A and B are shown apart, each in its own frame.
Chain A
Amino acid sequence: MPMIEISNISASYGKHLALDGVSLKVGSGELVVILGANGAGKTTLLKVIGGLVPAPGGRITMAGKEITGVPAHDIVESGVALVPEGRGIFGEMTVRENLLLGAFPARAREAEVRNLAMVLSLFPRLNERLRQTVRTMSGGEQQMVAIGRALMSAPDILLLDEPSLGLSPIMCKELFQILARIRDAGLGILLVEQNAKQSLKIADRGYLIESGRIVGEGTGAALKGDPAVQRAYLGAG
């Protein structure tokens, strides 16, 4: 059964149609990647799901409950956590404060201690830096804080907008391994990426998005072997 189901979502900025009838679903314990070029509408899609951008007409359900048009702070309560582009962290605050804020939603309070232990075991580096101001940390460490903050809200579905952006290749590889571990723990992950190679390696399924429309869909392995995908996203001839 799909955890989150998006049907027929359209969104526009002024006259520009950013999303045109997009439908997709993510199950629990499933890692789904969305591949697409810059400006294809990937970021807008995640913002719509996260409640930051309105999408009149479409329908989003989370565990069978409709969450269309719900404000962003209530979307979190339904179990959807978004790590936005630019990371969505509190740069002027400490790692500890960022993680504490992640557990602000009512749904997160009960499991707060357990989730903190989980986040710190996923990202041991954060454990050493709980008192550090996030702004002063490296890009990779900031991304750990961002994902940690989102995980602290006890989500069922994690939305990630280009988490590998600006990371070194080694960091990148480490990050995708951690995402796979989070998926294995039972969370659904919807990942927007330009790094098709790495993300398809761990993805269960994937969608291709082009000019605001879903133009292809398949399992991670199938997409990786698809010549069209290879040409467009994997840099093969």
Chain B
Amino acid sequence: MTLLLDILLSGLVLGGMYALTAMGLTLQYGIARIMNLSYGEFLIAAAFGALFLFTGMAVNPILGLLLIVPAAFALNWILYRVVLTPLVKRAKNQGMLEVDSILGTFGVLFVIQGVMQVVFGGSLQSYSYLSVPVYILGTTLAANRILALLFALVIGGLLYLLLTRTRYGTALRAIAVNPVAAQLSGIDIAAASALAFAAGGAIVGAAGVLVSMFLTFSAAMGVVFTMKALIVVIMGGVGNMMGALVAGLLLGIAETAVARLVDPGLTIAVTYALFLAALLWRPTGLFGRPAR
């Protein structure tokens, strides 16, 4: 019973991170229509940012969010405007934009990774912030994990409300549903796409800070987060925020369960097994949104 609760709690924390990461990616992929392969790099960069602030300047990661999230927003906005807008402009169709953006952001991936290798080295990094055990119903969970999960829920919840309860948020979702009709409704797609891409960047920046509070990370780890975010996005349905949340939590719990009950070496295998199952049986996502 304790083991089950333990798995559930740890799984929720991990799943919360996956869900948040996937929500950011679905903003970039579903609305801005950019398949950003350098997405995980921004997560790791934010983690290094939090590490630097904490160890170098004694700024705790929660305060660090206030600095890193706006910086990630700005950097991603610039990336979209400078590197990706020319690709968007010349793409004749969605397929062409997908190929071009994959190639383009693949390059960006190596640039960011290279810079991080040079500045922070290639070794595993971590720092100790609030790593005190908290007792919950007979099991324990580190305080930093609880805090990370809470913040992920708050940020994800706010994003969900913004996208569903405000007119501009609804307009952003409308672009994912039907870009032509969105234009005809007076929505400036170019400006909205830049904003959605930057917002996705801000979300992954937040996820990076939260992840750094309890996970060990290295400059080469970004791709793992990109892949997992992508898997969760596809499982949840592209552009579907609720889908990303549910699929993210499921993936976190499934991975934790396998790591604890079977073997930690199998987590990646489980991830891809779930992904394969989703692709085969629910190719449009758990909530069955039609594929584009």
Residue A102 interfacial (CB < 8 Å): yes
Who on chain B is nearest to A87 by CB?
Answer: B181
- CA of A93 to CA of B178 in the docked complex: distance in angstroms? 10
Summarize B's interface: helix, strand, loop or mixed: helix
If A92-B289, A100-B170, A104-B167 touch, whether A73 touches B189 (CB-CB below 8 Å) is yes
Q: Mark A99-125, 1 if CB is under 8 A from B, else 0.
A: 011101110100000000000000000
Who on chain A is nearest to B186 by CB?
Answer: A105
- Give the residues in chain A near B187, CB-CB below 8 Å: 73, 101, 104
Among B167, B173, B177, B185: residue with most chain A CB under 10 A: B185
- CA of A74 to CA of B186 in the docked complex: distance in angstroms? 6
- CA of A149 to CA of B184 in the docked complex: distance in angstroms? 10
Q: Mark B155-180, 1 if CB is under 8 A from A, else 0.
A: 00000000000010011011001101
- CA of A84 to CA of B290 in the docked complex: distance in angstroms? 21
If A90-B174, A91-B177, A93-B173 touch, whether A100 touches B167 (CB-CB below 8 Å) is yes
Report yes or no: A104 in contact with B178, Cβ–Cβ below 8 A.
no
- CA of A84 to CA of B181 in the docked complex: distance in angstroms? 8
If A73-B187, A76-B185 touch, whether A104 touches B180 (CB-CB below 8 Å) is no
Who on chain A is nearest to B240 by CB?
Answer: A92
Report yes or no: A73 in contact with B181, Cβ–Cβ below 8 A.
no
Report yes or no: B183 in contact with A92, Cβ–Cβ below 8 A.
no
Among B181, B187, B188, B189: residue with most chain A CB under 10 A: B181
Among A76, A92, A149: residue with most chain B CB under 10 A: A92
Report yes or no: B185 in contact with A104, Cβ–Cβ below 8 A.
yes
Residue A55 interfacial (CB < 8 Å): no
- Give the residues in chain B near A153, CB-CB below 8 Å: 185-186
- Give the residues in chain A near B177, CB-CB below 8 Å: 90-93
- CA of A55 to CA of B49 in the docked complex: distance in angstroms? 50
If A73-B189, A101-B170, A101-B171 touch, whether A91 touches B178 (CB-CB below 8 Å) is yes
Who on chain A is nearest to B164 by CB?
Answer: A97
Q: Mark B180-207, 1 if CB is under 8 A from A, else 0.
A: 1111111111000000000000000000
Residue A130 interfacial (CB < 8 Å): no
- Give the residues in chain B near A71, CB-CB below 8 Å: 183, 188
- CA of A84 to CA of B185 in the docked complex: distance in angstroms? 12
- CA of A73 to CA of B167 in the docked complex: distance in angstroms? 16
Besides the contacts A92-B289, A101-B167, A104-B171, what 19 more A-B pairs have beta carbons closer than 8 Å? A52-B184, A72-B183, A73-B185, A73-B187, A74-B186, A76-B185, A89-B178, A90-B182, A91-B178, A97-B170, A100-B170, A101-B170, A104-B167, A104-B185, A104-B186, A106-B186, A149-B181, A149-B185, A153-B185
A50: contacting residue among B184, B189, B290, CB under 8 A? B184
Task: Point out residues on B near A: beta carbons under 8 Å.
Answer: 167, 170-171, 173-174, 177-178, 180-189, 289-290
- Give the residues in chain A near B290, CB-CB below 8 Å: 91-92, 135
B185: contacting residue among A52, A74, A105, CB under 8 A? A105
A76: contacting residue among B173, B180, B186, CB under 8 A? B186
Residue A175 interfacial (CB < 8 Å): no
B181: contacting residue among A51, A89, A108, CB under 8 A? A89
A182 to chain B, nearest CB (A): 17
19 inter-chain pairs at a CB distance below 8 angstroms, sorted by A residue, are A73-B183, A73-B185, A73-B186, A76-B184, A77-B186, A88-B178, A88-B180, A88-B181, A88-B184, A92-B289, A93-B170, A97-B170, A100-B167, A102-B185, A104-B187, A105-B185, A106-B186, A135-B290, A149-B181
- CA of A91 to CA of B289 in the docked complex: distance in angstroms? 10
B243 to chain A, nearest CB (A): 12
B120 to chain A, nearest CB (A): 42
If A100-B167, A101-B171 touch, whether A81 touches B184 (CB-CB below 8 Å) is yes
Who on chain A is nearest to B237 by CB?
Answer: A92
A180 to chain B, nearest CB (A): 23
Report yes or no: B171 in contact with A52, Cβ–Cβ below 8 A.
no
Among B180, B184, B186, B189: residue with most chain A CB under 10 A: B184
- Give the residues in chain A near B183, CB-CB below 8 Å: 51-52, 71-73
- CA of A34 to CA of B114 in the docked complex: distance in angstroms? 60
